[in-house]
Amino acid sequence: MDELSRAQIRDLMAQVLANQGKALPDDDGTDLREIGFRSLDFSELALRVEDETGEELNFDAPGLRRIATVGDVLDFLVTLQRQ
């Protein structure tokens, strides 16, 4: 499996937001609600990561509930690739 870096996942996240006319802020501490990043957006991002790596990501709902910031999304997806 080709693991994506945090920067590569950030670029994919920016693309997901750009498709909606939104911009990804530089600050990883930005709250997802501030930028309008919803669960559907997370799903699209996860699918893009899967497409890039050729591997399915396995995650559970409790893990998703802890995600509140841009950095949380990036950390979560980087960690998932290593499982």
Task: Please state, in angstroms and rounded to a whole number, the distance separating the CA atoms of residues 82 and 72.
Answer: 16
Domain-by-domain residue ranges, the chain? 6-81
DSSP string, 26-59: S-TT-BHHHHT--HHHHHHHHHHHHHHHTS----
Using DSSP, how many helices (H) and how many strands (E) does the chain show? 5, 0
pTM of this prediction exceeds 0.85: yes
Give me the pLDDT at residue 64, please: 82
To the question of domain 6-81 being in CATH 1.10.357.10, the answer is no
Per-residue pLDDT of the chain (83 residues; tens, 9 = 90+): 589 999 999 999 999 999 999 999 999 999 999 999 998 999 999 999 999 999 998 877 777 888 999 999 999 999 988 87
Task: Please state, in angstroms and rounded to a whole number, the distance separating the CA atoms of residues 82 and 68.
Answer: 21
User: Is residue 72 classed as helix, strand or coil in its secondary structure?
Assistant: helix
